[in-house]
Chain A
Amino acid sequence: MRIELTVNGTRREADDVWEGESLLYALRERLGLPGSKNACEQGECGSCTVYLDGTPVCACLVAAGQAQGREVTTVEGLAGEELDPVQQAFVEKGAVQCGFCTPGFLMSTKDLLERNPEPTDPEIREALAGNLCRCTGYEKILDAVRAAAVAKR
């Protein structure tokens, strides 16, 4: 089937989409947007986190057909001329090692700071509970989230 959706502000179409295929697969394999990562395909790791109509979701658990006509924002849509303050903070605090989890953490962090500009540490942990990182031990990621909160003020 064909789906039409808005991705990062641009109208896009994908053809030959299999009816049981995930939005993650469609983004990566059909629309040339490999920023959202595929690590578990079962909602556990958050590396595929995108916004669907403004709400963060696991793209691996959305059927591509469910995104028909909807608005999707991926990590590719975060930076404008300059990096988003959340991306900048991750760079500056060394919150990235292999980088596989980073797109998901960026999307979840951005959502957190939009809802709650001054999160406490427990609130940060709760907001990032659906994102796993095998490299950093999370400390630098927490530093980056705190720094991004300050930078955005």
Chain B
Amino acid sequence: MDFLAPTSWAEALETKAAHPDALPVAGGTDVMVELNFDHRRPAALLDLTRVPELQEWSRDAGRIRLGAGVTYSRVITELGGALPGLAMAARTVGSPQIRNRGTVGGNLGAASPAGDSHPALLAAFAEVEIASVRGTRVVPVAEFFTGVKRSVLEADELIAAVRVTPPAGPQQFCKIGTRNAMVIAVSAFGFALHPDRRVVGTGIGSAAPTPRPAPEAAAFLAGELEAAGLWDSRGPLPEGLATDFGRRVRDAAAPIDDVRGSAAYRLHALSVMARRAATWAWDSYRDENRSAAA
């Protein structure tokens, strides 16, 4: 096995092009488990922790560009205000030791249906910046995942960053597991209100072969809010609307039975999480108005 340790982004891309079978390793919290248990024997490891460009985040034309190597701990401490949904998801990941090492880029790279960043990134309509020596392309998160632990990444490509617009409205993240710390989600849900565009963002985790949005449920809720003039009035949600939304989110999922939970339980949990997330977010949206008026 080779150990490749580029020290710049340009060198990382050249190294990946020259060694397409090299396995990138960032925080190692997925990769090292596979190596320790002999589940994987890559020809080479491509260490990304010495590439300074990946460890940075910046504001770029009103958006946040989050380097693939930024850890969950840093998302929580540095971006809790700018990316609240992602920070909420980050707080639920593993333990302090895992959050100190694990990265959002690694979560995307692993492309697990249970990755906790994914519902938050989906709800925020984030984009993944992918690069190779051939150039850079930008893929909406909703199009990034192609199957269980599969993504659109080509063998010579690396994830450079995630691009997210800081929210104009409240965001929520809900996760069901057997305890609060150190659990892989039984199912998870990300939610965002985008009042500037009068759009609703959704993300379903652990309840389909890939993380996925619930576009019909989102369009339904946004349409009902529009029809009742609620984006402007910020009045209370009509009776039953959040429940109806929860049901439609559930209908967008396609879960399986596995050791963590049954498909039926996941569907139920999703409808409850979606109802609660929408209600909590709408309450915050109304509160913003009240505090602005006060």
The interface centre, meaning the residue of A46, A60, A61 with most chain B CB atoms within 10 A of its CB, is A61
Once A19-B1, A62-B101, A129-B96 are accepted as A-B contacts, the answer to whether A43 and B47 lie under 8 Å apart by CB is no
Query: What does the 1/0 interface line of A12-38 toward B look like (CB < 8 Å)?
Result: 000000111010000000000000000
Contacting B at CB under 8 A, from A81-98, are none
Segment touching A, from B21-29, B125-133, B137-145 = B21-29
The interface centre, meaning the residue of B28, B94, B180 with most chain A CB atoms within 10 A of its CB, is B28
Once A22-B36, A41-B33, A44-B182 are accepted as A-B contacts, the answer to whether A61 and B96 lie under 8 Å apart by CB is no
Once A1-B3, A61-B32, A66-B25 are accepted as A-B contacts, the answer to whether A56 and B181 lie under 8 Å apart by CB is no
Q: Give Cα A61 to B100, complex, Å.
A: 11
Contacting A at CB under 8 A, from B74-105, are 94-98, 100-101
* Any A CB within 8 A of the CB of B2: yes
Q: Which residue of A lies closest to B33 (CB)?
A: A42
Chain A residue numbers with a CB within 8 Å of B35 are 20, 22, 63
* Any A CB within 8 A of the CB of B199: no
CB distance B181 to A63 under 8 Å?
A: no
Contacting A at CB under 8 A, from B1-42, are 1-3, 5, 25, 27-29, 31-33, 35-37, 41-42
Q: Give Cα A68 to B31, complex, Å.
A: 18
CB distance A61 to B95 under 8 Å?
A: no
Q: Give Cα A57 to B33, complex, Å.
A: 14
Chain B residue numbers with a CB within 8 Å of A68 are 5
* Any A CB within 8 A of the CB of B252: no
CB distance A19 to B45 under 8 Å?
A: yes
Contacting A at CB under 8 A, from B43-80, are 44-45, 47, 49, 73
CB distance A62 to B181 under 8 Å?
A: no
Q: Give Cα A127 to B45, complex, Å.
A: 31
- 6 inter-chain pairs at a CB distance below 8 angstroms, sorted by A residue, are A19-B2, A57-B97, A57-B100, A60-B36, A61-B101, A130-B182
